[in-house]
Amino acid sequence: MPQIFHPSANTLARASIFGGAFVALGAVLVTHMVIRSPYQTEVHVVKSQPVPFSHEHHVRGLGIDCRYCHTSVEESSFAGLPPTYTCMSCHSQIWTDSPMLAPVRESLALDRPLEWNRIHDVPDYTYFNHAIHVNKGVGCYSCHGRVDLMPLAWKEESMSMGWCLECHRNPEKHLRPREEIYNLEWSVDKDQEAVKAFVTREADAESKEFLMEDDYVSQEELGQLLAAMYEVPTLGHNTPLTNCAVCHR
């Protein structure tokens, strides 16, 4: 009886066992990478808008405060997009003939809102609240990045649940004084002197001594002080921020 398989089948069999393992492992890795890639999360992906609105120009160039347009961010769960009237409060006077702004003028004339394309769209079963974050010391920067450097807006963070929970578990890594919420350039290192002044002003003697021990206040140290001041539940607190009911009502 002739042999069924050529001797090369031995190599083939061995290779297929190893290959199979690698294919399986590779499939898992590729899936892992794809669901975390910009393809899925849209991080750093610029979407087209009816008007090419530049945060860079309006915030950095003109120094407009975030709340001038996003008016409800301190009171409402929804930060809000400015209505056409807000745009026209300036653009009825300047760049009145700009073709770029034609949709804005049309919107006012026809009393039809501009249809912006939403960049940060969490699912509707997630009840995100802007006001609580802004009032408890989370700056715009922590979630939206350097908006003042974005010619066209993009998403800086994935807005995935794991990313939210990371901060809800360790909020002290991101807390900042309420005065600096809208300051996109602020950081503990850059504004160390101001931070020290803040600690000197706000902390009681004992915690001040502890925080300023090495003549440097780190983000974690400041965060702990702020968490206590603003009553932000940190890890081990009896009402943790990681409870389902916090976001998934």
Partner 1 sequence: MASENDQTGRTGAAELPIIGPGHTFATVSDKLTAVVLLDRIRKSWVLGLAISFAFVMLFLMSVTVLFLKGTGIWGLNVPVMWGFAIVNFVWWIGIGHAGTLISAILLLLRQEWRTSINRFAEAMTLFAVACAGMFPILHLGRPWVFYWLMPYPNTMALWPQFRSPLVFDVFAVSTYATVSLLFWYVGLLPDLANLRDRAKNKIAQLIYGVMSMGWRGSARHWARYQTSYLLLAGLATPLVVSVHTIVSYDFAVSVVPGWHTTVFPPYFVAGAIFSGFAMVLTLAIPLRAVYDLKDFITDRHLDNMAKVMLATGLIVAYGYLMEDFIAWYGENEYEFFMMLGPGRPFGPYWAFYWALIACNIVIPQLLWFKFARRNVIVLWLISILVNVGMWLERFIIVVTSLSQDFVPANWQEYTPTFWDWSLYLGTIGVFFCLLFLFIRVLPAIAISEMQELAYEVDHRKNLGNDGHGKSNSSHA
Where does this chain bind partner 1 (CB under 8 A)? Answer: 1, 4-5, 10, 13, 32, 35-36, 158, 160-163, 165-166
Nearest approach, Cβ of residue 219 and partner 1 (Å): 22
Q: Report the half-sphere exposure of 92 (CA within 13 A, side-chain side).
A: 8
Count of CB atoms situated within 10 Å of the CB of 205: 7
Pick the closer one to partner 1 by CB: 3 or 239: 3
Nearest approach, Cβ of residue 131 and partner 1 (Å): 24
Q: In the 8-state DSSP scheme, what is residue 82?
A: P
Tokens 């394309």 identify what position?
117
Maximum CA pair distance of the chain? 96
Q: Measured between alpha carbons, how far is residue 7 from residues 15, 16, 50 in Å? A: 14, 15, 66
Pick the closer one to partner 1 by CB: 100 or 122: 122
Pick the closer one to partner 1 by CB: 1 or 94: 1
Nearest approach, Cβ of residue 123 and partner 1 (Å): 11
Which one, of 41, 29, 30, lies nearest residue 163 by Cα?
A: 41
Structure tokens at 79: 């930060």
Pick the closer one to partner 1 by CB: 13 or 235: 13
Nearest approach, Cβ of residue 111 and partner 1 (Å): 41
